[in-house]
């Protein structure tokens, strides 16, 4: 290994702000060497069969389930996720491993093409070593929804995780090691963001997957483009949910509360803007306030807790600043909006109404438990407001008229996902990604696994 690193990463418990374990990081030279070793393992790994890769991926699922409680505790300690949500996240990762172990052979099977006088097919071949730059909010799932398809396709992988979850980053590498994957097929590098460019530009890296902020996406897209390397970007969101005049208001508020409060509101696909048509806006507000009052702040280690701390005090303060600036610009607080007098990164469930353009709650992504209610005149106005955003990740329609909801979701809303009477989420059976400033490319399903494949045309002509 190359020269020792002077980089280290300090974890902090968001519940009380106390310092946790400190981890020694990698130097830039060490990170490049790790990437080069992963690239050197690629030729052998790509030649393994789907059966062999699938067996190892199922073994990884078994490791995840066996260590589910440990990993959930680690997420709670490093970024404040409730143990209940943490256990569910680990189970989702395990099911993701099993899903791609089962479906990868079909997703990547060569497809015959009819060409007159010749034999032709489309083949799906791995690209090489893929660099993943991942965020802290779903520290295991974000990685596994990339890693399971990338590895099953025959790529090797290098993970640069968020600096605030170093323990999770190393634990994920340990899962693959314990499952029996060959050495260096999946590696974690503990490096600051300033080292990422050197990795992207190194010949060892073939492509990049990033989940993160719009600004991080711009930087990675620019760097990958300059190196002529493909990237998949899943960026921020300000998901809009349309509450139409024929909606079941209680059911709509339940969906809205679930959509807003998942992971303490710290999710790109959390519902953030609830656009209610004028006849039902007040009734929807009352119902939403009632639903969110069932999310009191509590100890993330207790089973009954549904809202733990934010990821950090800095993140909490940024949320509060957005709320304060929105109120100063004319929004009204219905509940929440006050920092509690206690140690840690706590912020209560908050509802803002009278939300209009020019306010952060309207224009920007608020990455916490803050619901913005926006009034629309009618359906057409609601669609206009929903689409008048730089983001386009998820969206929803709440209505009793299913045909109407399907029409709006399919034809009108500018987003990568549009759900009718449900909260948007990432799932194995549906491709996931966004448009506009929410990124490009897709994860999950056949679309996701093919993102990091060379879609190769093969033609065989008999010379006789």
Residue 355 and residue 333: Cα distance in Å, rounded? 10
Specify whether 97 is catalytic: no
Q: Hey, what domains does the chain have and what are their CATH numbers?
A: 8-235+437-460 (3.40.605.10), 239-427 (3.40.309.10)
pLDDT at 358: 97
Closest CA to 193 of 169, 219, 168, 175: 219
Look up residue 136 and give its DSSP letter.
S
**How far out from the chain centre does Cα 455 lie?**
25
pLDDT at 5: 65
Closest CA to 150 of 186, 102, 183: 186
pLDDT at 436: 98
Catalytic-role residue among 85, 98, 173, 234: 234
Q: Which two tokens stand for residue 434?
A: 């966004």
pTM: 0.96
* Alpha-helical runs (H) found in 332-426: 360-363, 379-387, 402-407
Residue 164 and residue 285: Cα distance in Å, rounded? 35
Catalytic-role residue among 97, 268, 379, 412: 268
Specify whether 268 is catalytic: yes
Mind listing the pLDDT tens digit of every residue in the chain (464 residues)?
A: 455 567 899 999 999 999 999 999 999 999 999 999 999 999 999 999 999 999 999 999 999 999 999 999 999 999 999 999 999 999 999 999 999 999 999 999 999 999 999 999 999 999 999 999 999 999 999 999 999 999 999 999 999 999 999 999 999 999 999 999 999 999 999 999 999 999 999 999 999 999 999 999 999 999 999 999 999 999 999 999 999 999 999 999 999 999 999 999 999 999 999 999 999 999 999 999 999 999 999 999 999 999 999 999 999 999 999 999 999 999 999 999 999 999 999 999 999 999 999 999 999 999 999 999 999 999 999 999 999 999 999 999 999 999 999 999 999 999 999 999 999 999 999 999 999 999 999 999 999 999 999 999 999 999 88
């Amino acid at each position: 290994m190359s020269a020792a690193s002077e980089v280290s990463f300090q974890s902090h418990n968001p519940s009380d702000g106390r310092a946790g374990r400190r981890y020694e990081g990698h130097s830039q030279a060490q990170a490049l060497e790790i990437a080069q070793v992963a690239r050197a393992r690629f030729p052998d790994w790509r030649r393994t069969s789907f059966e062999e890769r699938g067996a190892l991926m199922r073994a990884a699922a078994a490791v995840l389930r066996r260590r589910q409680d440990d990993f959930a505790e680690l997420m709670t300690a490093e970024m404040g996720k409730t143990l209940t949500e943490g256990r569910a996240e680990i189970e989702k990762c395990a099911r993701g491993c099993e899903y791609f172990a089962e479906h990868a052979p079909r997703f990547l099977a060569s497809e015959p093409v009819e060409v007159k006088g010749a034999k032709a097919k489309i083949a799906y071949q791995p690209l090489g070593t893929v660099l993943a730059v991942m965020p802290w909010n779903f520290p295991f799932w974000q990685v596994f929804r990339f890693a399971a398809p990338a590895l099953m396709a025959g790529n090797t992988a290098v993970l640069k995780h968020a600096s605030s979850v170093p323990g999770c980053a190393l634990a994920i590498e340990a899962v693959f090691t314990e499952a029996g994957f060959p050495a260096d097929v999946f590696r974690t590098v503990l490096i600051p963001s300033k080292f990422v460019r050197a990795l992207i530009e190194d010949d060892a890296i073939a492509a990049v997957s990033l989940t993160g902020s719009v600004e991080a996406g711009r930087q990675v897209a620019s760097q990958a483009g300059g190196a002529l390397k493909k990237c998949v970007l899943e960026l921020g969101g300000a998901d809009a949910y349309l509450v139409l005049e024929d909606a079941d208001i209680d059911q709509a508020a339940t969906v809205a509360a679930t959509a807003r409060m998942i992971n303490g509101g710290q999710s790109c696909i959390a519902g953030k803007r609830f656009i209610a048509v004028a006849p039902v806006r007040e009734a929807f507000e009352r119902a939403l306030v009632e639903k969110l009052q069932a999310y009191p702040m509590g100890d993330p280690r207790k089973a009954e807790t549904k809202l733990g701390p934010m990821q950090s005090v800095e993140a909490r303060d940024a949320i509060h600043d957005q709320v304060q600036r929105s109120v100063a610009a004319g929004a009204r607080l219905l509940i929440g909006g006050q920092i509690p007098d206690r140690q840690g990164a706590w912020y209560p469930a908050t509802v803002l109404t009278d939300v209009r353009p020019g306010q952060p709650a309207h224009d920007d992504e608020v990455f916490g438990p803050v619901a913005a209610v926006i009034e629309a005149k009618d359906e057409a106005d609601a669609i206009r407001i929903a689409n008048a955003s730089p983001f386009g990740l998820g969206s929803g329609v709440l209505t009793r008229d299913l045909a109407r909801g399907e029409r709006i979701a399919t034809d009108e809303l500018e987003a990568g996902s549009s759900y009718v009477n449900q909260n948007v989420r990432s799932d194995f059976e549906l491709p996931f990604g966004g448009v506009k400033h929410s990124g490009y490319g897709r994860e999950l399903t056949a679309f996701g696994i093919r993102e990091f494949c060379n879609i190769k045309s093969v033609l065989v002509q008999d010379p006789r």
